[in-house]
Structures are given as structure tokens and as C-alpha cells.
Amino acid sequence: MQTDGERMAFYDVIIGDVLQILPSLKRKFNLIIADPPFGIKYNKSSHEYGAKEYKLYRDKMTKREYFEFSKTWINSCYDALLPNGSMYIVSGWTNLSSILNAIEETKFILKNHIIWYFSWGVYTKRSFVTSHYHILFLVKGNDYKFNKQSSYEEDVWEFEGYNRGNDPNRIKGHPCQLPIVLLEKMVLISTDKGDWVADIFSGSGGTTLACRLTGRNVIAIEKDPDYARLVRKKCFYDVPDEQLKEVLENRPRWKRYGKVKGKKSKEIRDEQGT
């Protein structure tokens, strides 16, 4: 547990199963970000999406098992959110149908289906290279927060200067990580400073670091003790306040820009340093 200087932001990493931990928390959250395990079997000679799956789920789940697993944790997330809360779920295409079917069994409203496009898909001989992830934007009601970062927010996201392995904020020792700039975008749009975020299936702790960079409170839940220690080290100890500005300045930029009133697209790009 840690607070951060003037912002008095709160950070904590809880080691345990999200299915047990999340329902036990008394606090309600403004936002939950979930990058659930693939539930696939890992073979050293082949990778799905160029990365190993969540290591605690080495045994392949059947489609039915993954559906039931998804429905359980998504329902827990619904109960853990404030009435105006929202959630993002990141998924590859192999599990997308199970997650979408699970969402239909909950009270969530599926507001948007976002595509995150990237250019570092793994080479294949007899199939199309996977070059995107799916991001599902869910809300509990119509009064959810939506802080536009531009006046024209698209549902296709692309980040300039980012490809697999070159993010300076990556945590060594964790095989499957999302770029900080992607998570930061979710946090900025769906919360205000001082709001509470739950980083479930925390993994490398990207959401936790994004919350620290933007002054949000965050509770991370991670089942693997080794990964939890990595999150604590990276998010709490390796990034003191004087380095936060440097991290922000060196992070990749958003590549797809919306329209800002009274400004042309080139002016927006110039302001963002691209």
C-alpha cells in the first residue's frame, strides 16, 4: 500500500484470485480494466499473438469452461462498480465469442467494440497475420463518465512508435504486456483525478502504472506472487515522482487523432510532438 505525494493517490497490489478478492472488497470502483488470461495451451514452438498465455492457466479451457469463467468474473465486476462506472475488456479473437456471450448473460451494456491495431503481428505461412486486439467498452448505465481527449473519438486505436518489445515501461519477466499509452487512454477517458480503478488480472501492472501517471487511485489484483512483486517494484519503487515526467515524455503517442474544435489535424499532431 502506498500514497503518492501531493496527489495522495493510493496504490495497492493484492495477491489472490480475482473471483475471491473482488467480491470481498468494500470499495466500489469508477473503472475496471481487465486483460483476462487467454486460457490456451502454450507450446514453445508456437505462440498465440506473439506471447505466452497467463502462466497460471496452462491447461487449455474448453469453450464452455471459458464462457462460465468469463461470466463469473464479469458479473463480479458489475457488482464492484459504482452506478456510473465502466469497464474495458481486452481480448484476442480466439476468446471473443465466449466473452461476448458471457456479457449477454450480465446486466452490462456493451457500449463500444474498439479495435486496437498494431503492426507487429507474428508471421504466418497459411493464414492472415493477426494485427489487432479487441477492446470491449462496457457501462452500467447512461450516466457513465466519458472525457473525450478529442472531439472525434474513433473506435479504432493505433499508437505511434509502439511495437512489441520496445515500450520503455515494459516489465522484465512478464511475457504478455499492454502498452502504457493504451491503458492511459482508457483511464483518462473514463475517470477523473482521484477516482478509483481496479486493475484485475494485473499481470505486468500496466494499468497500475497508468493510474499513477494520471493521479488515479488503483487496487491491483494478481494471482501470481512473482508477478505481484514485479508490479510493486515497477509501479511503486522504480518510478519515483521525479521520473514520472520523463516517463510521460518518452511514451508512445496516439497515432489516430480526432478533431479538436478550431484546429486542424496537423496542428494537433504538432502539439503532441509527432
Q: Are 34 and 15 in contact (CB under 8 A)?
A: no
Where helices occur in the chain by DSSP H, the ranges are 18-24, 63-80, 96-104, 180-190, 206-214, 225-232, 241-250, 265-271
CATH, residue 92: 3.40.50.150
Q: Note the pLDDT tens digit of each residue in 85-115.
A: 999 999 988 899 999 999 999 999 999 999 9
Per-residue pLDDT band for 253 (boundaries 50, 70, 90) equals: low
Cα–Cα dist 190/85, whole Å: 8
Cα→Cα distances 160→153, 175, 213, 256, 260, Å: 16, 21, 19, 8, 19
Q: How many Cα neighbours within 13 Å face the side chain of 10?
A: 11
Give me the mean pLDDT over the 252-267 stretch.
44
pTM, two decimal places: 0.78
Q: Which domain holds residue 265?
A: 2-271
How many domains does the chain contain in total? 1
**What pLDDT was estimated at residue 212?**
86
